[in-house]
Amino acid sequence: MRDNLDLAASAQELADAAPTGSIDRAAATSVAITLATTRDIDSARKTLDGVTPAEVREAALALFDRLATADA
């Protein structure tokens, strides 16, 4: 299983590839920052529950779930 920093790097790559101003870019950036600044995967998931607006939160949680389960 990959650690938070590995997952953060993957999320950052997705953010960099997404169009500027898009929901996907905002979501991937949120996931990257959250993973890079939290201690473990559970803390990151809980932190993402506070992302606003709701459409960015939903996209971020979906991306987080995809990244977190990719190696499971």
Q: What is the pLDDT of residues 18-61, one digit of tens each?
A: 999 999 999 999 999 999 999 999 999 999 999 999 999 999 99
Give 2's pLDDT tier (boundaries 50, 70, 90): confident
Q: What confidence score (pLDDT) does residue 72 get? A: 56
> Running DSSP on this structure, what letter comes out for residue 2?
-
Q: What confidence score (pLDDT) does residue 1 get? A: 65
Can you list the alpha helix ranges (DSSP code H) found in the chain?
A: 4-17, 23-37, 41-48, 54-69
Burial of 35 (0-12, 13-18, 19+ CB in 10 A): buried
End-to-end CA distance of the chain: 7
